[in-house]
Structure 1
Amino acid sequence: MSTSTDAVPVPSPRPVRLVRDVRPWGGPAVDVHVADGVITALTPVADRRPEDTPTGTTDPGVVDGRGLLALPGIVNAHAHVDKSWWGLPWQSYGGEGGTDGRIRHERARRDDLGIPGVRPTAAVLAEMVRHGTTAIRTHVDVDLGVGLRGVEAVREAAAAYEGALQVDVVAFPQDGVLRRPGVLDLLHAAARAGVQHVGGLDPATIDRDPVGQVDAVLGLAAEHGIGVDLHLHDPADLGAFQIELVAERTERLGLQGRVTIAHGFAVAQLPDERRADLLARMGAAGIAMTTVAPLRLPQLPVRELAAAGVRLGLGTDGIRDLWSPYGTGDTLGIAWQYARAGSLVRDEDLLAVVRHATSDGAWAVGRERHDLVVGARADLVLLDAENPMDALVRTPPRELVVGAGRVLAERG
């Protein structure tokens, strides 16, 4: 990784009309035909006629997939692309621990690093794309210190991909909603500026007013017709109480299917019967969850979420930021961590995790369909792997990344 702020990769997505000889989900080899950024046909390689296989072609719109495994583009359902110091000199961990301590440290240092800014955001977006990501839901800090500057920087960095990389924004009040007068007004301004979601953070322990924060954030979302994505780190019964509060307000305001709980550590910490009741309530309210597969904590139960109808997305969280020096931008790596930490070993569970990171993550970026099928947006990633389970446990390099029918990254 370069340590120069000048060495930011500049995207130059090139359109493709045909990706030859790939194996969607590890199945039989097909040619993927693309027009206007959409998959128009999947034709079996076995059915090709000799005249359909030209030799010596240099057509830049035709890509040889070499029989590689093809998966839908990776969906990063929980990122913070405005915070990263990727591409800058190494930043030593400092400040105090805990959520409030990290907030204070970040506020004290971010201006020195030019965060938020277009250049560091572009650097971390390029790293995510290199790892196969074609769609991102990112939280972007909105507070009294930066106003909407972070939202503007993220949009400018994403615009360089000319729509081939989807980046949806959550206006995120990292420093609290109610305890900082004026933040709620900024969130309304962000909604008017077109962000897709509004966020919140630990209503009980940050604002110390769970009813007030939940009412304010969900009420704002209902008023502006946008989604909600709420960070919730509070454990066990305290966290469960707040999730129940969110579920009740979701139903009252008609926000079913538009609310997400990020992290939600409490869900994995509850007794079995209590967790089952809570998940059933969340499923009924259409509340989704995202996880970054935190180490040293119990993982969200993939089968129980599915049984309750609670959608799950995987994300990288912060990447090399003032909260932690860790992170690579590889959501498939987070999927590996989630599966390994959750002791998932059976094929059906490993495949489910890969789907959460790809096709089943469509909900996180507002898509009804995100898969290697006719009519879907042409987002795909090629890997040298036997099948999706093999790709998960080995996380091999991404050989080719295509977003909306344009090449975003090629290995080598």
Structure 2
Amino acid sequence: MLHPAASVIRNVRVSDGSAVDIRIADGVIASVEPATPQAPSADAGDTGLEIDGRGMLALPGLVNAHAHVDKSWWGLPWQSYGGEGGTDGRIRHERARRDELGIPSVATTAHVLEQFVRHGTTSIRTHVDVDLGVAQRGIEAVREAVAAYDGALQVQIVAFPQDGVLRRPGVIDLLDEAAAAGADFIGGLDPATIDRDPVGQLDALFRVAADRGVGIDLHLHDPAELGAFQIELIIDRTERFGLAGRVNLAHGFALAQVGASHRRDLLQAMAALDITMTTVAPLRLPQLPLHELDAAGVRFGFGTDGIRDLWSPYGTGDLLGIAWQYARSSSLVRDDDLRRVVDIATGGSAPFAGLPVGRIEAGSRADIILVDAENPMDALVRTPERELVVGNGRVLFQR
């Protein structure tokens, strides 16, 4: 349920430590001014709420750039992990059990969105399964659940072929249908190991994306040289089909596993076409190298992946926790690096949700979270509770 719009958030600190009042109008930050001693009222009538920030740290809303909000069992009774291991084994297990759990549904999607919001996420890019079993039902459920936020939560949809593209005749037609109906992106999955035809899968996806004017956001788990080979194919097709700035590579484990010179060449080619990356910061694998990505100019974002689903019982919906995991696993300890990770988790990743870069400054969309932390570095290493979450100027959560 949405609360009234906020008009002023008083007495908060921004990243440089200064105390400010943040004025909001029509869902946008109207001004950021030095804090005044004026006591806020509980309700400012037609102008909206005035909120006392109590000296807490204000950060831009978190951006979850890789989620699966359609396929969680959170809110249902505990589901024991089962089936076989590996990507294909997990796919089969999910297909065997999702119907009995009512996945996808508006109710379970709404529960996931609620968990994201209470942890400070205000912008999401979510992959939604599109296959021969569910067709477009997942996308319909996600759209209905998102509509309850009335624009306060920004969501991009990726029509995602979790069960493969070419190995299931008819899936590419479903992706084309989803793109024609308004999906922002179409997805793909391990062209070599799932479809066993990387050229065929990628050509089919890029044709649909180019014809329909949508982007591509592709899962690539394949390791080392096999994964790097597919990244080269993606680079080639991004240029050939004129999709620069509209292609994202999710996971991309291979980039952290090939040699330094090969990785440099791949990153430079990706940056030239603005091919972006998203990571869920897996614990047991090398992390994408922050400094190399930044040096090459490859934009990237963090995501929670699936949470409490038939693939894994883990996940809380806290994107800041994923940023912590990335920083910790990457052995990042210097203030500049920790600040950079916070920036990626917040406004710096806003373009992954179709938004301009978010900042606590006049003109930015009013996506704001308050935490009891000394500074952004402290917020990252402690991941404190979110005290207030504002999306598009509306209060979405308040402790």
Question: Which TM-score tier does this pair reach, normalised by the shorter chain?
Answer: over 0.9
Output aligned runs, 1:48-87, within 5 Å: 48=36, 53-54=38-39, 57-59=42-44, 61-87=49-75
Output aligned runs, 1:39-54, within 5 Å: 39-45=29-35, 48=36, 53-54=38-39
1:203 is aligned to 2:191: yes
Structure 2 match to 1:115: 103
SS at match of 2:80: coil
- Name the CA shift for 1:67/1:221 in 2 (closer, same or farther; >3 Å): same
Match 2:28 to one of 9, 25, 38: 38
- Over the residues paired in the alignment, what is the CA RMSD in angstroms? 1.0
The Cα of 1:168 is off from its aligned counterpart by: 0.8
Structure 1 match to 2:394: 406
AA aligned opposite 1:205: T
Deviation string, structure 1 residues 204-225 (Cα, Å, up to 9, x no partner): 0001110111111111111111
The Cα of 1:281 is off from its aligned counterpart by: 1.0
Match 1:22 to one of 12, 15, 18: 12
Output aligned runs, 1:257-406, within 5 Å: 257-406=245-394
SS at match of 1:190: helix
SS at match of 1:200: strand
Output aligned runs, 1:140-219, within 5 Å: 140-219=128-207
- Name the CA shift for 1:408/1:57 in 2 (closer, same or farther; >3 Å): closer
Indicate if the aligned counterparts of 1:26 and 1:388 stay in contact, CA closer than 8 A: no
The Cα of 1:30 is off from its aligned counterpart by: 0.8
**Partners of 1:57 and 1:134 in 2: CA distance:** 24
SS at match of 1:300: coil
SS at match of 1:181: coil
**Partners of 1:55 and 1:174 in 2: CA distance:** 50
Indicate if the aligned counterparts of 1:26 and 1:70 stay in contact, CA closer than 8 A: no
Output aligned runs, 1:224-235, within 5 Å: 224-235=212-223
**Partners of 1:54 and 1:327 in 2: CA distance:** 39
AA aligned opposite 2:5: P
The Cα of 1:187 is off from its aligned counterpart by: 0.4
Match 1:251 to one of 239, 256, 259: 239
**Partners of 2:309 and 2:42 in 1: CA distance:** 45
The Cα of 1:369 is off from its aligned counterpart by: 2.4
Match 1:94 to one of 82, 104, 108: 82
- Percent sequence identity is 68
The Cα of 1:58 is off from its aligned counterpart by: 4.1
AA aligned opposite 2:34: P
SS at match of 1:124: helix
SS at match of 2:380: helix
Structure 2 match to 1:7: none
Indicate if the aligned counterparts of 2:74 and 2:308 stay in contact, CA closer than 8 A: yes
Q: Say which is worse superposed, 151-160 or 366-375, in terms of deviation.
A: 366-375
**Partners of 1:26 and 1:170 in 2: CA distance:** 36
Deviation string, structure 1 residues 293-340 (Cα, Å, up to 9, x no partner): 001100000110011110010000000000000000000000000000
**Partners of 1:114 and 1:25 in 2: CA distance:** 43
Indicate if the aligned counterparts of 2:2 and 2:394 stay in contact, CA closer than 8 A: no
TM-score in terms of structure 1 length: 0.95
1:128 is aligned to 2:116: yes
TM-score in terms of structure 2 length: 0.98
SS at match of 1:153: helix
Provide the aligned length of Structure 1 versus Structure 2.
Answer: 396
Deviation string, structure 1 residues 25-76 (Cα, Å, up to 9, x no partner): 243111111111001111111xx3x6xx146654361111111101000000
Q: Say which is worse superposed, 94-103 or 56-65, in terms of deviation.
A: 56-65
**Partners of 2:42 and 2:206 in 1: CA distance:** 55
- For structure 2, the residue ranges without an aligned partner over 5 or more in a row are none
Structure 2 match to 1:8: none
**Partners of 2:281 and 2:337 in 1: CA distance:** 15
SS at match of 1:294: coil
